[in-house]
Amino acid sequence: MEGPSLVILKEEVRPFKGKKILKASGYADIGLKRLTGKPIKDFKTWGKLFLVELPGFSLRIHFLLFGFYYINEKKNPNPKLSLTFSNGSLHCYLSSVRIIEEPLKNVFDWEVDLLSPKWNFKKVRKLFLQHPDAMVCDVVLDPDIFSGSGNIIKNEALYRAGIHPETRVKHLPPRKVSQLVRAVHAYSYEFLRATKKDKLVSTWKVYDRKTCAVCEGKVIKKFTGRLQRNSFICRNCQVLYKKQ
């Protein structure tokens, strides 16, 4: 689940904002009794994190690779965390659930959150350039620089910027650095809009494709970078920048 899907979750649980947790259950080992009777102050997202703000502490939920949720219906058994309200319920599966004791503003910097109105292009560009020896495919997946980006956003943003994933940060021309940072931001919103219309797959120009949607050339699939996550590459449309 990438950042935009969390924004959709946040919108879907809006009816529960201000409501009291009537019951908290599941196998999350966080002392669930503590949640009973607490009102929801706010629902927030930071990248791929779903944050439930309660009086005095917060829940931090990450859906990892396989996580999913249901609202108002418990389709699967064994949820990690279920919250019941007077007007419905939220059921989270296969997720990481933790408590954050500190105020959220002390923990998270929304200037790096791709889908926050506070997102700060200049700051992100500067953080990006602090990793000159890294491959761009790894930096675009760094949650502290591109919070909310995942493997789909990585591949589509690199494609749109015309950059090969194995390019080193230090070999990118300054103009391409800016283009990439903006492409990650812009595609995050495209991902959000398309997912709401259930048309995400139609936005893919290289991801999970055998041929490029633009030039129809062969798309190479390979594990790249330190993180060894799958990259999809069009050799015609994406340039590998190297030391001259």
Partner DNA sequence: CCGGTTGTTCAGCG
Partner DNA sequence: GCGCTGAACAACCG
> Which parts of this chain interact with DNA (CB under 7 A)?
1-2, 5, 27, 47-48, 62, 64-66, 68, 76, 78, 80, 93-94, 96, 141, 143, 149-152, 200, 221, 226, 229-230
> How does DSSP assign 149-190, residue by residue?
--HHHHHHHHHHHTB-TT-BGGGS-HHHHHHHHHHHHHHHHH
Q: How far is the CB of 93 from DNA (least distance, A)?
A: 7
Asked whether the beta carbons of 47 and 147 are under 8 A apart, the reply is: yes
Between 72 and 76, CB nearer to DNA: 76
Q: How far is the CB of 183 from DNA (least distance, A)?
A: 16
Between 88 and 143, CB nearer to DNA: 143
Buried b (16+ CB within 10 A) or exposed e, 70-87: eeeebeeeebbbbbbbee
Between 47 and 165, CB nearer to DNA: 47
CA angle, residues 116, 122, 124, in degrees to nearest 5: 60
Asked whether the beta carbons of 111 and 46 are under 8 A apart, the reply is: no
Residue 20 has what DSSP assignment?
A: B
Tokens of 73: 């219906």
Q: How far is the CB of 120 from DNA (least distance, A)?
A: 19
Between 85 and 207, CB nearer to DNA: 207
Q: How far is the CB of 151 from DNA (least distance, A)?
A: 3
Q: How far is the CB of 143 from DNA (least distance, A)?
A: 4
Between 124 and 141, CB nearer to DNA: 141
**Rounded-to-integer distance, Cα 169 and Cα 132, Å:** 5
